[in-house]
């Protein structure tokens, strides 16, 4: 069963309940990152790819593997880095005591746990409570693509747009000066894989490009959005999504909620 942890956004003070994602080990057993209750939640503003992975040990076979560091998107636009307990890689028996220098998100060791039966499937967690879905026919569950490179981020965003119902979404061979990464007959999208929140200028430029193309404009960002950028997107009706390294976009404003609810 996935671990859950109450967290509070340092930016706006909103309270949330985070449920850790479950990933399959190479042996097939479900594995979740060990959460650290009581450790401070951090805002993910300046990040590197190396910092976005945690080592998790399988309770069934003892294999240590890397998983995306848990994150949660707050409705205020902030991306929250969820604290986890570290796992030593060089100890095949798993953590039994302090592991050395403290992880900035928590350093308590993970106790062993009894064997658990393998579940029928990998559960998915909602990032927040969306609007009621009004699409004509229910969509199947979105299958994310793990993000390790900026190209992966664009590919994951393209898969998500197709899942929403946009047809013939294609990726440019080279990113044009306009910053448009994905295009379809009725949609354009920009994917920001940098470690800085998207600016209001970027949001306005994307909206203008969509206006000129008579297409829906959609913005994807890994680091969230500046406050004025989010406010401007709300005014323009431009959907904003935050992506984590599992490749699962999360809507962070009203237009994005409406797009997910109704589909393309």
Whether the predicted model's global pTM rises above the 0.75 cut: no
pLDDT at 234: 93
Q: Which of 17, 11, 86 is nearest to 45 (CA)?
A: 11
Residue 41 and residue 58 in contact, taking contact as beta carbons nearer than 8 Å:
no
Q: How high is the mean pLDDT in each 10-residue block of the chain (264 residues)? A: 76 83 75 81 70 78 79 79 67 39 39 42 42 55 88 92 92 72 91 90 92 92 92 94 91 92 84
pLDDT at 36: 81
Domain extent listing, the chain: 1-125, 150-262
3-state secondary structure at position 230? helix
What is the CATH class of 150-262? alpha beta
Rounded Cα distance, 232 and 227, in Å: 9
pLDDT at 48: 63
Rounded Cα distance, 222 and 215, in Å: 23
* Mode of pairing for the β-strands spanning 240-243 and 79-81: unpaired
Joined together, the tokens standing for residue 72 give 């949660």
pLDDT at 226: 92
């Amino acid at each position: 069963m996935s671990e859950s942890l109450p967290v509070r956004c340092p930016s706006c003070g909103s309270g949330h309940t985070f449920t850790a994602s479950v990933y399959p080990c190479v042996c097939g057993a479900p594995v979740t990152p060990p959460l650290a209750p009581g450790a401070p939640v951090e805002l993910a503003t300046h990040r590197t790819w190396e910092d976005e992975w945690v080592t998790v040990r399988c309770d069934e076979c003892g294999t240590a593997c890397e998983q995306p560091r848990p994150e949660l998107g707050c409705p205020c636009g902030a991306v929250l880095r969820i604290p986890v307990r570290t796992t030593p890689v060089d100890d095949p028996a798993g953590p039994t005591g302090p592991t050395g220098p403290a992880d900035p998100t928590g350093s308590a060791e993970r106790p062993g746990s009894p064997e658990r039966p393998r579940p029928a499937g990998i559960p998915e967690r909602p990032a927040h409570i969306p609007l009621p879905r009004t699409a004509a026919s229910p969509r199947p569950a979105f299958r994310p693509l793990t993000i390790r490179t900026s190209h992966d981020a664009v590919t994951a965003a393209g898969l998500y747009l197709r899942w929403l119902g946009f047809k013939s979404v294609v990726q440019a061979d080279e990113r044009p000066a306009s910053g448009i990464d994905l295009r379809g007959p009725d949609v354009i999208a920009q994917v920001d894989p940098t470690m800085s929140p998207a600016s209001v200028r970027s949001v306005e430029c994307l909206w203008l490009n969509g206006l000129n193309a008579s297409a829906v404009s959609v913005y994807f960002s890994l680091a969230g959005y500046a406050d004025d950028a989010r406010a401007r997107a709300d005014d323009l009706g431009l959907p904003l999504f935050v992506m984590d390294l599992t490749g699962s976009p999360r809507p962070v404003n009203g237009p994005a909620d409406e797009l997910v609810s109704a589909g393309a």
